[in-house]
Every structure is written in structure tokens, then in C-alpha cells.
Structure 1
Amino acid sequence: MRIVLAPMEGVVDHLMRDMLTRIGGFDLCVTEFVRVVDMKLPRRVFYRLCPELGQGGKTPSGVPVKIQLLGQDPNWLAENALKAVELGSPGVDLNFGCPAKMVNKNKGGAVLLKETDTLYQIIKTVRAAVPAAFPVTAKIRLGFDDTSLTLDNARALYEAGATELTVHARTKADGYRPPAYWPWIEKIRAVVPINVIANGEIWTPADAALCQQQSGSADIMLGRGALARPSLAKEIVAARSGTAEQAMPWPEVLELLLQYSDYEIAGDKGLYYSNRIKQWFSYLKLQYPEAELLFSELRLQRKAEEIVQTLQQALRQLE
């Protein structure tokens, strides 16, 4: 079993990857997507989204970080994929799953699931450009509006040379609405002889076990669930080995939030701190009632100093 930390634009940056991989349980991280249009991007673009390139392509706790690319032009994607591995990424992932309207409007992400031949051409061209020692993988959804092309798309990606697929078990039209259709992943596994990672609606160790059972996939990817429950990956690993690991207690979560605050304010000069900490709270409150109460207090705060003081006060009240 491998557990992969999902890319989440504007939320799972290098600082969040550092925090979550320090807790444990993760075997691989995938970056927020690098948008490729019509040029070979300079190294600074890759380093901005993946500073881990400066430390061997791994987080400080030693978890590999793979660069993800998003675009529609096979040749420019291939050029940038080669650049990514030359800079130190342990492979490259292609994003065919992003449901964002602006991304899809510009013919990127999930909208390409309507074009099986385009998927094939992108992977084939990227695979030809990237040395064989480096995996070329793809993340997909079940489809755009429906599942009519699901199996055709999976076959095309495999035949083009994809080493592995990650499947978010919903269509673009489904968005993030429950449920995730994990049995569809088993159908995909039946038609492609490569590893398939299951993704979508995994919030607890029990969810992970059910997903693995229904999908037939041993490997899973965690996104929103890992933000809602920071110890989730570690808990899943423990459950798999037959031991019990409790969810991180709320006081420890508060300490983690303060540690993240120090990282984020220092790491990015605090430019995005307010938005990112509030986004994190939007997930934490799904698992921690205390987070919802605290969020009602800090959601109107704009300055980093105010937010940090609110977090510190909340922790002091528990001591």
C-alpha cells in the first residue's frame, strides 16, 4: 500500500506538504499543477511550486515530490516534462482531472476527458520525451459529463505509455458531491495492466478500507481528507497493520496550526496566509467541532497577527 498526498491548488503548497509528511503515513506527494501553454517554462516556475527540487525532490522528512503539469499541447507539455525531471522531479504527472471552470474553459484539466485522442497524443509525446527511468503518470476523473468514455480514456492513456493512473472516482459534473464511485475504479483496473491509485471521498480509515475493497486498489490518494484530519494517512497505515492510531487531538491540531502559521508567514512573507489558514479551517471543521467554533471568530480577521493571536488564545484556554 502507498498513500499519496494529492495536489490542491492554493492549499497544498510546499509548506503544507512539509507539515503533513512530518506527521507520517505518506509515500509520495504531487505538486499543484504547473500550467503549460506555449513555451518552455524557466526553472524559477518549477522551483516556485516545488522548492523541494532544491533538496533532491523530497520534503524535509524525505517523502518524494512529483511535479504535475496541466495543458493541452503535447509538444510543449513534453518539453516541460523533460525540464521537470532534469531539475530533479522523480517523474511527471499529467492533470486531466481539474474541474475548475477557468481551467476547463482554456482547454485544460477535466475537459480533455472529452477527447480520447488528445489524451493519447499528450501521454505518447511526453513519454517519448522523458527518459524511461522516470514514470509518466496521469490523474483523471471518470469523465466530464458522464462515464461513456471512462474505459476508452483509460485504455488510451495506457496504450500511449502511462506508467500509472490516479482516478478520482467522480465525473467533472459530479464535482465533489458524495459519493465517490469507487467500483468504477475496479472496472478501469480490469482493462489496463498498470497500477491504479484510488482517490475521492476518503475521510477516515474506514473509508480507506472500503475504498480499497470496492476499487481493488491497494494504493490511495488523499486530498481534502488529509486537511480535515491531519493524521489520517498515519491512521490508515496503522489500521492496515492491525494497530489502533487515534486521530490527532484538537490541542495538537492547534499547535500544528500555529507551527504552520510560522512557516507560512515566514515562507511566503505572509502574502497568502490569511486565505490559506481559512481554507484549511474549512476542512478541519468537517472533522473537529472545535474548529467550526473557532472559525466563526477568525473568519472575519484579515491580518496575520490577529489570526495568530486568536489561535494562541484558543490553545491557552485548553491548557
Structure 2
Amino acid sequence: MPTLNTGRIILAPMEGVVDASVRHLITQFGGVDQCVTEFIRITDQVLPRHVFTRFAPELLTSARTSHGVPVAVQLLGSNPETLAGNAAKAAALGSPSVDLNFGCPSKTVNKHRGGAVLLDEPQVIHDIISAVRAAVPKATPVTAKMRLGNKDKSLALENALAIQEAGASEVVIHARTKVEGYKPPAHWEWIARLKEHLTISVVANGEIWTPDDYQRCREISGCADVMIGRGLIARPELAMMIKAINNGNQSESAQWQSIINMLLQYFTMVESQMMPRYVHGRIKQWLKMMRSQREEADGLFEEIKQIKDLNELRRHLESKQE
């Protein structure tokens, strides 16, 4: 297989899933070039430092995970002035770039004029990015994540151009509308259409679960750079598998034993951060998201799904260690 130019792989922000603990554990497998935080909701004020460090404790360690991967802060909102003020705060705290969310499909978020609903208002998107670009140092990149639209794709190009013309240096395009949610397929061909009109960096996002998916996405979208969310949760070594293929090497899955060890690490992290009644849910959530990609995960999930006692759950996971 010919060696490909190795593009970047970015771990996607996923609300309620990809927190600092998950970023730490996934980046330990290698292959991930950048992470983005869960969105910080911005309303009418500049938030205090502790809010930023709660979402991005990596700001306390040069904005990198313990494995040296940069972590960018993502903001969500609709008020250009307050978003600009918070972007300046994020940059001052050390975020290597500031990302703006125009892709979240949550009904609650959209109801309050955040996320994908703003794709109906390209001028607002332009105003937000323009204000943020003016507020942060020139050396701090401003990036954005968008879907192909809210209800349909009719404003896809207008939104992409608004992001570019307002001063963003990169746009991540999730190749579905808000209405399409996360249902297959992702329309990678639409990314290619938009990319033809853009001069800024374009990153493809959506339905990348395997190295083969990456190759097809790259061929269809024309993007070497990708953002992966659920695919990296389901298979934490996916980025390294993709990089191996790009470098002309054999791509191999991680041993199930290493996944068990990761889940036990996660158990310890979550237990130190959350009230006991929430811990088992987080472990099961991650294992459940692995089921589509790992037969062992499917079996283990069935074994533990009714367990609520934490000591019993830990013992069951430990019993899977060799």
C-alpha cells in the first residue's frame, strides 16, 4: 500500500462523554493530534477561571493532556460580545486555539439559540466569529465546527463562507444536518463541494468508525484531516490504526486486555470525581458505545448492565484481567 500524507486526527468534543479523563485515556493509545473540550455555554457574562479549568483542567498543564496532546477550548452561544470576552479569557488562560460550536443538535441548546440552530442565520455566525477573531491575539487561531445545516443543506455554502470571511482559519464540517442527527450516512460528498469554495483548512467529521471509513472519507471529501468522536470512543486505538496505514504499516486492533485495563483506570478516575450513584452509569456508557465495534464489549456489557454495586462492578472488571 502506498504511503499517504498523514493528516491530523482530532478527538471530537462530545457533551457528557469526552471529558478530561476520557481525553487522557484515549490519547494514551497514540495517533490523536488534538482534542477539543465539551462546549462551554456562554450567555451574558465572562465566566470565571474555575469554569474554564473545570471543563479543561489541561489549562493547568500548558493546555495539553498528560500524553502531550494539545486541548482547545470550545465555546457555544449566540451573543458575539460575550463570546468574544470569553474567547479572550480562554486564550489568556492558555488555550492554543478557540473553537466555536455551530453543530450541537441538542433541542435544549437549540431552544436557547446555540449550536446548529444558528445555521439558519449565517450573518450571526459571521458576527460571532468576527468578534471573537478581533478579541483574541493574532497568534491564536479561531476555528469553528458546523453541520451542513439545521433543517436542510440550503445554507451550507453560505455558512461555510461566513466562517471563512469572518476570519476563522479552520472549519470542521460534520457531514449531516441537525435534523439528520447521527443517522448514517454522513454526506462526505458535501464536504468536497464546500471545500472547493474555501481557502481555509477543512476538517471532515462524521461516520468514521474504521480505517476503511477514514480512507473512503478522505477520498470522497478530499480532506486528509478528520475529527472523530464516537469512532474513537468505540475503538480508542482507531487513530493509531489510521496513522499506521497512512505510514504504510499494518494496522492492528488493541488487545482486549488493554481495553479492560483502560476501563479500570476510568473507573478509578470517575469514582474520584463523581458521587457513587453516577459512577456505574459512566462505565456502562463507555462500554455500551464500544459494542458496535467489539464483540467482547457486547458480551461484557450484557454481564454488567444490571450491576449497581460499585465493589461488585469493580470485581467483575478485574476478573477479566489476565
Matched, 1:256 2:262: yes
Distance 1:219 1:269 in 2: 38
TM-score between the two structures when normalised by the length of structure 1: 0.96
Query: Is 1:198 the equivalent of 2:204?
Result: yes
* Contact 1:265–1:271 (CA under 8 A) maintained in structure 2: no
Structure 1 residue 306: Cα displacement: 2.6
User: Offset at 1:275?
Assistant: 2.3
Shift of 1:267: 4.2
Task: Work out the CA distance in 2 between the residues paired with 1:269 and 1:27.
Answer: 32
Matched residue type, 2:176: R
> What do residues 181-209 of structure 1 show as CA deviations (whole Å, max 9, x unaligned)?
00111111111100000000000001001
Are 1:35 and 1:69, in contact at CA under 8 Å, matched by a contact in 2?
Answer: yes
- In 2, the alpha carbon distance for the partners of 1:42 and 1:98 equals 24
Q: Which amino acid aligns with 1:17?
A: R
Q: For residues 56 and 78 of structure 1, what CA distance do their matches in structure 2 show?
A: 22
For 1:218, the equivalent position in structure 2 comes to 224
Aligned to 1:50: 56
Determine the structure 2 residue equivalent to 1:292.
298
Give the C-alpha shift of residue 94 in structure 1. Answer: 0.2
Query: 1:63-82 residue pairs with structure 2 within 5 A?
Result: 63-82=69-88
Residue 273 of structure 1: how far off its partner (Å): 2.5
Q: How does 1:20-99 map to 2 (within 5 A)?
A: 20-99=26-105
Q: Distance in 2 between matches of 1:42 and 1:270?
A: 28
**Paired residues for 1:1-319 under 5 Å:** 1-268=7-274, 272-315=278-321, 319=322
Per-residue deviation, residues 236-276 of structure 1 (Å, max 9, x unmatched)? 00000110121112222111111221222224465642222
The letter of the residue matching 1:28 is: Q
Aligned-residue sequence identity (percent) comes to: 51
1:68 corresponds to which letter in structure 2?
Q
Query: d(CA) in 1 for partners of 2:173 and 2:269?
Result: 32
The amino acid across from 1:63 in the alignment is: V
Deviations 1:286-317 (A, max 9, x none): 111121121122222233323212211233xx
Question: How far does residue 176 in structure 1 lie from its aligned partner after superposition?
Answer: 0.4
The normalised TM-score by structure 2 is 0.96
Alignment-mate amino acid for residue 140 of structure 2: F
The size of the alignment, in residue pairs, is 316
Q: Give the whole-Å Cα distance in 2 for the aligned partners of 1:314 and 1:42.
A: 43
Secondary structure in 1 matching 2:21: helix
CA distance in 2, matches of 1:69, 1:272: 26
Report the Cα distance in structure 2 between the residues aligned to 1:304 and 1:199, rounded to whole angstroms: 36
- Give the drift of 1:117: 0.7
Q: Helix, strand or coil: the match of 2:40?
A: strand
Alpha-carbon deviations, 1:33-54, whole Å to 9, x = none? 0000111100010000100000
Q: CA RMSD in A?
A: 1.2
CA distance in 2, matches of 1:2, 1:67: 18
State the match for 2:4 in structure 1.
none
Return the alpha-carbon distance in structure 1 between the equivalents of residues 235 and 218 of structure 2: 19
Q: What SS is found at the alignment partner of 2:177?
A: coil
Unmatched tracts of structure 1, length 5 or more? none
Residue 152 of structure 2 aligns to a residue whose secondary structure is coil
Seen in structure 2, the aligned counterparts of structure 1 residues 30 and 272 have a Cα distance that, compared at 3 Å, is farther
Aligned residue for 1:23, secondary structure, equals coil
